[in-house]
Amino acid sequence: MVYKDCDIGSAKPSLEILKKYPHHLINEETLENIFTVSDFCKESFRLIERIHANNKIPFFVGGSMMYFKSLFYGIHDLPGKDQDYRNELNNLKNNNSKNYLHSLLKDIDPSYAEKIEENDHIRVIRALEIFKQSKIKMSDILKDRPKTGIKNNFDVHQFGIHLEREIIHERIKTRLMDMFDQGLIEETKDILEKFDISNDHPIRKAVNYKQVIEFTEGKYPKEILIDKSLYATRQLAKRQDTWMRGWVEYSKLIDGDKKPIRNTIKNIISSL
């Protein structure tokens, strides 16, 4: 939702909803750039301070569990992006064996290489990039947990919605078909025509956009596209559920019951 022009595929709220219930971090960045986890954390802290200054309660909603974890615990202060080196690594990836970059990382940092998938090119390239600039291995960086997260700075209440898998799958299918009816394929084609999307841009990995991009490249017909999008979304929901089940200090909202949230907010307001 953070990217402009990505409306249908990200299930962005309608203009009517946004007008009635103002959101933050919507249409924050153009597709010419990449909105990183670091950007998310910095912007979130800025918003928290502004919302608190207005005597309001910031409320984070969404399914980007890695981003929430980074915000909750904090992130390390790492070197910025080196596009020239990334281009060099992508050329090496394209002109060598399938997992060539992962083998480079394994030679430098076998411990971190073992923890990530061989085809996780985004993390592999980032680890190589950081080592080139700082001469510090990612595994050494991750040994020490940062103390810059909201966990150490604010009173945080966490909630996770749990529904029966059959209900989740039915909702996913309904929403996905709505996306195609609203013009997901056309939106994706417009994005590809309007922007020069780099191979390492997150939009190419994003569920639904990834599958439609592959469809536009002629990798499979529309019938397979729908099946692949449906499967990818269900896998994403499964990973989100796994994230929450391993989470600490959060309250389960069984069958979507919102009462715990209302009661918590009432208690917070009464204590102000």
Residue-wise pLDDT for 217-266, tens only, equals 999 998 899 999 999 999 999 888 888 877 777 888 888 788 888 888 78
Mean pLDDT of 19-31: 92
Tokens of 8: 């249908």
- Return the pLDDT at 260: 82
The answer, yes or no, to whether residue 122 has pLDDT greater than 90, is no
Helix (H, G, I), strand (E, B) or coil at 161: strand
Phi, psi of 159 (to 5 degrees): -135, 140
Distances from the Cα of 72 to the Cα of 66, 99, 258, angstroms: 10, 33, 22
- Return the pLDDT at 272: 66
Which has more confidence, 153 or 267?
153
- Chain mean pLDDT for the chain: 90
In order of start, what are the domains of the chain with their CATH numbers? 83-141 (1.10.20.140), 160-272 (1.10.287.890)
Given a contact cutoff of 8 angstroms between Cβ atoms, the answer to whether 62 and 85 are in contact is no
Tokens 């966990």 belong to 151
User: How far does CA 67 lie from the centroid of its chain?
Assistant: 6
User: How far does CA 240 lie from the centroid of its chain?
Assistant: 11
Planar angle of CA 26, 80, 41, nearest 5 degrees: 35
Mean pLDDT of 39-56: 93
Q: How many CA atoms lie within 13 A of 11 on its CB side?
A: 13
- Return the pLDDT at 206: 93
Q: How many CA atoms lie within 13 A of 90 on its CB side?
A: 11
d(C-alpha 29, C-alpha 64), whole Å: 17
Mean pLDDT of 28-32: 93
Given a contact cutoff of 8 angstroms between Cβ atoms, the answer to whether 247 and 160 are in contact is yes
* Residues in contact with 50: Cβ distance below 8 Å, sequence separation at least 6, in sequence order: none
Sign of the Cα torsion 113, 116, 118, 123 reads negative
Given a contact cutoff of 8 angstroms between Cβ atoms, the answer to whether 245 and 152 are in contact is no
Neighbours of 31 (CB within 10 A): 20
Helix (H, G, I), strand (E, B) or coil at 209: helix
The answer, yes or no, to whether residue 66 has pLDDT greater than 90, is no
- Return the pLDDT at 43: 95
Tokens of 14: 């309608």
Residue-wise pLDDT for 132-156, tens only, equals 999 999 999 888 878 889 998 898 9
Band (167; pLDDT cuts 50, 70, 90): very high
The answer, yes or no, to whether residue 34 has pLDDT greater than 90, is no
Residue-wise pLDDT for 171-214, tens only, equals 999 999 999 999 999 999 999 999 999 887 899 999 999 999 99
- Return the pLDDT at 266: 80
- Return the pLDDT at 136: 92
d(C-alpha 212, C-alpha 37), whole Å: 25
Which has more confidence, 266 or 101?
101
